[in-house]
Every structure is written in C-alpha cells, then in structure tokens.
Structure 1
Amino acid sequence: MATTDPSFRRYLPWVVALAFFMQTLDTTILNTALPGMARDLGENPLRMQSAVIAYMLTVALVIPASGWLADRFGTRTVFLWAIALFSLGSLGCAASPTLRMLVIARVVQGVGGALLAPIGRLVVLRVFPREQFLPVMSFIAIPGLVGPLIGPTLGGFLVQFVSWHWIFLINLPVGVAGVWASLRFMPQLRSETPSAFDWGGFVLFSLGLMLSSLALQGLGEHLVSTALSVICLVAGLCAMAAYWLHATRHPRPLFDPALFKIPTFRIGIIGNVFARLGSGATPFLTPMFLQLGLGFSPSEAGLSMVPTVIGAMLTKTLATKLIQRQGYRRVLVGNTLILGLMIASFALIERGTTHLWLAVQLGLFGMINSLQFTAMNTVTLGGLDTTTASGGNSLLSVVQQLSMSLGVASSSLFLLLFSGAPVNRANPGVDLVPAFHATYIAVGAMAALASFIFFQLRPQEGESGPQARAAGDSIQD
C-alpha cells in the first residue's frame, strides 16, 4: 500500500502545505489589487466584489463533494485536477479583458481551490497514524499563515509597480511544482466501495446558495430589477427549505440533520454565520477604504494590512489558555461584542490618522478576530465524535465560505447605498470616506449581534478535545 512508503510520509506534508499556501495566498492577495483592477477593466471599484464572491461561493458549493470525489476517483487524481483547475483559472483571470470574464475564471479557480485543502487533510488523516495527525496538521498550517502575511503586501506592490495580472500569474510556477510533487509523493487512495452521493440534496443546497447570493448582489448593484432580486431571494430560501426537508428523509444526506441535535455544534454553526458576516467583510473593505477613501497607494495599503496578520498570529498562542480559563460562553459573548465595536471603530479613521495609530488599530482587530475564529471553530467541533466529525467539519468549512461571501455581498450593498455612487463606471470624484464609515458601523453591528447566539451556551459547555483542536488548526482563517 502506498501509505507504507516512507517517502510519502516524509514529503507528503510539504505537498499539502504547498497547496494550502496557493489557496491562502490567492484569497488575500486580491483584495488590495481590486481598485487597480477596476481602473484597468473600466469598472467602478465598488462593483468588484463579484470577483471575490464568485470564488468564495464556488468553494462553498464544491466542498461537500470533495470526499466523494476522492473516494470515487482517487486522492492523487482529484488533487492533480484541483491544482490544474486552480492554475487554469489563474491564467484565465490574468487574461480576462472584462469583469464578467474575470468572474468566470474565478469560478474555475474556485473549483480547484475548494478541493485542495479538503483532499490534503483527508490524505494526511489516512496516511499518518492518529498520534501524528495533530503535529503534521500544525506543520501544514504554517504556510496558511504565511499566505495572508505576504498576500496583501505582495498584491499591492504587484499592482502598483508591475501589473495586476501578476497576482494570478505567480500561481502558475507554484502549480507546476505542485503537479510534479503530487505525481511523486501523493498516494492514490480510493474507496473500494464508495458510498452513494446525495445528488438531490447537493443540487437543492447549491441552488439555494447561488440564488440567495445573486439576490443580495442584485439588490446592491441594481443590475437587475428589485422584483427579480426578491424573486431570487425567495427561490433561494425555498430551495434551502426543500433541502432541509429532503435531508430529514434521505438515508445518507449531504449534511446529516442529526448534527444539529448537538447543542454546541448547533450554536457554533449559527454563531459562525452571523459573526463572519462582519469579520469576513473587513479584509475586503479595509484595503479599498485605505485606497479609495484615504488615498493610499496599493503598496501602502498592502503594508498597512500586515499588523492584522501579525496580531492574529500572536493570539494563536494565547487563545487556548484564555478559553480554558474563562470558558467558551464568556469568551465568545464578550469577544463578539468587542469584535463588533472594533469593526465599527474604523469609522473613526480620518485622512489625518497616523500610520502608527492605524497599525495599532489593525493589529488589535487581528488579535480579536483570531480569538473569535479559534473559539468558534473549537466550540463547534468539540462535541463531535468519530461518526459525526467528518460531516461536521465539512459543514463548518461550507458555512465559513458562505458567511464570508454573504459578508462581502452585504458590505458592498451598504457601501453602494451609503455612497449613492453610480455602478456602471468608475467615479473617482466622489468622497467615499463617509460611506465607508457608515458601512463599518453597519458591519460591526451585524457582527455584534452574534453575541446573542453565543449567550445560549451553558457556562460549562464546549470542552474541546483533540478532534476539535486538530480540526480547528487545519481550518484556515
């Protein structure tokens, strides 16, 4: 069996780490480049959120099928296809002459990106013995931290001094290296009897996500009539309700409704949705605020985001001790309220704000945001056992991508409504600072509302075990 070959265990973590790096770098490098891309494509920068949402939503749609695809076609085959699609989508993004073509290429890129991390985690879980899983996943998570650290800065420098096309083209040599390494060191693992896939549930669930997201974008951008947007929203909610009814009757549903009988999982998942509506929108809003509102250059905006990542990395070492001392309920309720206030506090940033104060504020946000993600991940997964861990982890990954996608869509809607800016062309003459300030306050209020959900935890609920810590470390935030 391939898993007994020492070379697989020696080099496999590096292969998976490379894939994690590709994915996390791409999700952070784009935000800083959006205003420059908008100028080149002849678009209003306030409409560029569709390039971000298309990727996140595609990832959310494809993740549920990743395990079945690996069992059916083999881990190496699917992993190679994931790298190929991600690289092909990157090339398509670089060659896109319009926003519409860019969105289509981002969808292709998202299909590949959705498979990279889940397949990588699955292979590590099957190749390494249980006692080695957590150390290996901790090693693999390091590139996932490096990507967000250099992504905004690299994106800013590339768009200012070279061309925005290179934020996608740099994925190609990494993809070539990934294909070579996967052919040599990725084992081909598949199930002899793959379980049946819930295609009916997959279609209903995907349809619900797509229609709801399109409705939010339509309401914000006024690209279609309000009536059509409302119809899409109602149809999306109807599809999600139909999926829930389908799941209660299907023998092996896409996501087992029994997961929601676990109190900590139920509260954690719902809390994730609302908390990430605010915190997931901030990395998208802030680079645009710095450039379109405060007049920063792309490279200055990228460098300004570094304290956020440094703050997040520092908090990783303190989060576990704080949670163990104070308990999940107290940490999540208090930190969620602080997170909402922290997001809203960006409305106090004016053109004369010093770089030092901006760095302090962004660093504090990174620390609070990281603590929020760590606590939410572990409380959600801590109550799962071996029979529910896989489905619960997959659903949490989907919810993360979905809620961040909805956060970007809703923040864009607020920004467009508060600015009153036209959506068919760039309008650099409009002072967007008041619109950004109002948007930060609205987004912060949305994030703070999740504290009511986390208040439903009992004081002693949420004891985290090895399964929760391992899954929490492997999920990139």
Structure 2
Amino acid sequence: MSDSALPRSTLVPLIVACALFMENFDATVIATALPAIAASMGEDPLRLSLAITAYLLSLAIFIPLSGWMADRYGARRVFRNAILIFVLGSLACAASQTIGQLVAARLFQGLGGAMMVPVGRLVLLRSVDKRHLVTALSYLTIPALMAPIMAPPVGGLIVTYTSWRVIFLINLPIGALGWYLVNRYIHDTPDDEQPPLDLAGWMLLGGGLAGLVLGFENIGKHVLPDYVAPALLAAGTLLLGLYALHARQERAPILRLSLLRVATFRTSVTGGSLFRIGVGAFSVLMPMMLQLGFGLSAVESGLITFASAVGGLMMKTLAKSLTRRYGFRRLLVSNTLICGTALILCGCLRPFMPYALMIGFLGITGFLRSLQFTCVNAMAFADIDEDDMSQATSFSATAQQLALSMGVGIGVQVLNISLWARGATVLQNLDFTIAFLVVGLISLSSWYSFRLLSPDAGSSVSGHRLALAHQGPAPAGH
C-alpha cells in the first residue's frame, strides 16, 4: 500500500464500494425500468419480476461459497473474477431478446454478485479494528449509496429516451475501474489449511434455497402448473431440514449454524431478515405503484424514488455518533416501529398528493431505513471471533439475500391475490395499499427480536457503554 496516499482502513472500504456501486445501481435501475422492459418484450410486468428474483436466487445459492472461496483461493483473485463475471452477465442482459434469456443472464450475473460484496466485506472486517467498524462501514456505504441516488432518474431517462438495454452497459466502465483497483491494492491471502469444500452441504443448502425462492415466486402467477410451486416449497423445506442435520455432523459445514448461538449475530440474522423483507418488497412496489398506479413516466417515478437514497446518504455521516450515544438496542427497537409504520404509510400515497410531500416522506424514511441497516450490519460481527469471520459473512449475506428475494415475492404475490379478490386484471392503488400493509407488518415483527437484546449489545463496535455506566463506582472495601 505504499503507493497509495490513503490508509488501508479508508482505501479498502472505497474499493469495495466500487463493487457495491455497480451492484446497487443494477438492482435499483432494473426495478425502475421493469415496466419498460416488459413492454419491449410483450410481457406482464408482474411476470417479468422473475428477472429480479432470478438474480436474488443466484445470490442465495452462491453466497454460501464466498467465504470458503476467498480463504482457499485468495480474496483478490475471487473479487477480481467476480467483477469480471458480473460485467459479462450485464452484457448478456443487454443482449437478451426474451424473458427466458434475461432470466438466464441475471442468474449468471448473480454468480458474480454473490462473490463481490461478501468477499469485499470479509476483507474489510479483517482489515479494521472492531472499534472503528461503524465508521469503516460508513466509508464503504457512502459511495455505494450514490448508485440508488443516480439509478432512478438515470434509469428513467435511459428507458424514456434511449433503450432499456443501456442500463446494463453502464456496468462496463464501473467494472473495469473496480477490477483495476482490486488488482492493484488488495493482496491475496489464501489459507493453506482451509478444509475441503462441503459439497454435500452446499448442494442441500443451495437446493433448499432454490426451491423456496422459486416456489414462492411462482405461487399465483400461473406460469407453471399449479402443483409445481407447492412442490418446490415442500422440496426446499425438506432440503433445508436435511442440511440442518448434515451441519450438525459435518466437521466443517458450508454454513455453520452454531454461529446462531452468538446473541448479536442471531438477532442480526433473524430480526434483520424480517425487516429486510419489507425493503425487498419496497424496491419493486414503489416504482410499480408510481408508474402503473399513478400513471407516471419512468423519469418522474425515478425522480421521486431517488429521495430514499438521498436520505440514506445523509444518515451515513451520523452513524457513528448515533450508535455511540444510544447503542444498538435502543436505536433498533425504536427505529423498527418508525420504519415499519412508514412502510405501511407508503401505501397511503395517492396521485393527487404534492410531489414535494412524497419526496420529503421518502427522504425521511430512507434516512431511518439506512440507520437500521447500518446498526444491523455492524452489530452482526461485534462478538464474532476472527477465525469465524469468513463463515459469518457468508451466513449473514445468505440470509440478507434470501430475505430480499422473499420480500420481492411477497410483494408481488399480495398484488396477485388482491387482483384475484377483486376479480380484476389491472392494478389499482388499492392493490398497492394492501401490499404495503402486509410487508409493513412483517417488518414490524422484527421489533420482538431487537427487544430481546441486552442494553450494551455490540458495545465493542458501537462504543456505547450503557451497562457499565449503570454499574457506578465499586463499593468501598472491595
């Protein structure tokens, strides 16, 4: 690192942020452009949500491999090749002519995304002291949050005035920059003592996750025969149960379930996943409501939804001071109630409301939602030993992506059920109101998990010492 003016604690987060920018831009822009892509291919926008689910499915299957791959072959090699795969997948998406081709390209693209972010986060965790982790995560996330800020309006302009295919081609220069930075500044750190790959465990886990995501996504869409979706859900549940038995007997399972014994990590996975379901649904429901329910163009929709990302960007500069003052538990408990309620209120937005009101509301909710994720992500690794970091990053990232895919599926399925209940074929504002109500209640249910945390949970990362402050000075004579 001698050829860089930046310290490693700053440089590494910024390099990882380059990959995050590319992935977040791609994920956000496709949601904004979904109706335009559907019109181009002559498909139903609800059915085309498979393009989003396919990417999340690929992430859920391949993320469990990321930690093992980084330890075995070196972080730089895995990170660099992941960026290359992601860019090639983006080119395939741009060349797609049918929904089948687009879904296949998104699956391949997801393979690259599955390695990029978890491996980058692992490098960060191994490079930064836990006391500075919240600040480091803010460094990492601030540049990456520029993607959601830019994606909605840029995506709207692209699909309105050019072609939706251009949105995938944007990844080419970003990927080239990321590849160069990884190759130049990140060192390889392979572990010669890494145990063999738990192939049987990965097949069980990957198959189970695939069954759940695909089964849930296809309920009510009538793309496959009616019996296929329940069969996929049953098979997925069975495979995950078999993996749980396998992990207890395997010396080095692909995902170590014993990590859930760590209270802060367990709460980050369980409570964080429930909360993240609402965010996954929001990323699809809000652009669809603005375009299909309100009749706005992709550009107008993008200019409104980008307010959430602006709010998130503003929050990152305050993350360390807020966590130090209030601690993770207090912030998570109160903020869950606010964010869950706000998600429900998204369904109360109507076309006649002033755009300024919508933008302000979405900006505030974006601020609070970003605070929630900063706390959840930082707390997850507060009490994890260094030797378990690789497993923990894979486990956490798998749970996050599964929750996002569930959120997309739940949001779309509620719209389908609402259409069926009304005996209609065209989405109306009421359908979105019901969908936001359901996903908002799911996010609110994470409150119970956060409520069980101790007052000083994750204090080694947050810097909060509430429990020590309550103890007071030691009694005389002791």
> Under TM normalisation by the shorter chain, which class is it?
0.7 to 0.9
* Residue 460 of structure 2 corresponds to residue 438 of structure 1: no
The aligned amino acid for 1:44 is D
From 434, 454, 457, give the equivalent of 1:462: 457
8 Å contact kept, 1:89–1:106 = yes
- Provide the rounded CA distance (Å) in 1 between the counterparts of 2:406 and 2:299: 27
**1:218 alignment partner AA:** N
* Partner in structure 2 of residue 288 of structure 1: 288
Equivalent position of 1:474 in the other structure:
none
Q: Which residue of the partner structure matches residue 450 of structure 1?
A: 446
TM-score normalized by the length of structure 1: 0.88
Q: 1:258 to 1:418 in 2, by over 3 A?
A: same
| Equivalent pair of 2:153/2:306 in contact (CA under 8 Å) | yes
Distance (Å, rounded) in 2 between the aligned partners of 1:431 and 1:71 = 48
- Name 1:306's counterpart in structure 2: 306
Query: In structure 2, what residue type is equivalent to 1:95?
Result: A
> How do 1:72-111 and structure 2 match up within 5 A?
72-111=72-111
Relative distance call for 1:457 and 1:73 in structure 2 (3 A) is closer
Tell me the amino acid that sits aligned with residue 462 of structure 1. A
Distance in 2, Cα, partners of 1:314 & 1:101: 38
SS of corresponding position for 1:356: helix
* CA shift in 2, pair 1:174/1:9, >3 Å: same
AA partner of residue 435 (structure 2): T
Unmatched segments (≥5 aa) in structure 1: 470-477
**C-alpha distance 8-252 of structure 1, shift in aligned 2 (>3 A):** farther
Q: How does 1:55-454 map to 2 (within 5 A)?
A: 55-123=55-123, 130=129, 138-420=138-420, 430-454=426-450
> Which stretch shifts more, 177-186 or 405-414?
177-186
% identical aligned pairs: 36
Q: Distance in 2 between matches of 1:225 and 1:46?
A: 17
| TM superposition outliers: structure 1 runs of 4+ over 6 Å | 8-12
Count of aligned pairs between the two proteins = 459
**1:1-60 CA distance string (max 9 Å, x none):** xxx664597796464443232122212121110011110011111222211111122122
**Aligned CA-pair RMSD:** 2.8
SS, match of residue 459 in structure 2: coil
CA distance in 2, matches of 1:468, 1:235: 44
Residue 136 (structure 1) shift:
6.2
Distance change (3 Å), C-alpha of 1:261 and 1:31: same
Question: Following TM superposition, by how much is the alpha carbon of 1:442 offset from its aligned partner in structure 2, in angstroms?
Answer: 1.3
Q: Measured at CA, do residues 454 and 180 of structure 1 come closer, stay the same or move farther in structure 2, by a change above 3 Å?
A: closer
Q: Mark the CA change 1:141 to 1:212 in structure 2 (over 3 Å): closer, same or farther.
A: same
Structure 1 residues 202 and 297, CA, compared in 2 at 3 Å: closer, same or farther?
same
Match of 1:31 in 2: 31
Deviation track 1:434-472 (CA, whole Å, cap 9, x = no partner) reads: 1111111111111112222322224x2413324999xxx
The TM-score, its normalising length taken from structure 2, stands at 0.88
SS in structure 1 at match of 2:227: helix
Distance in 2 (alpha carbons) for counterparts of 1:157 and 1:408: 24
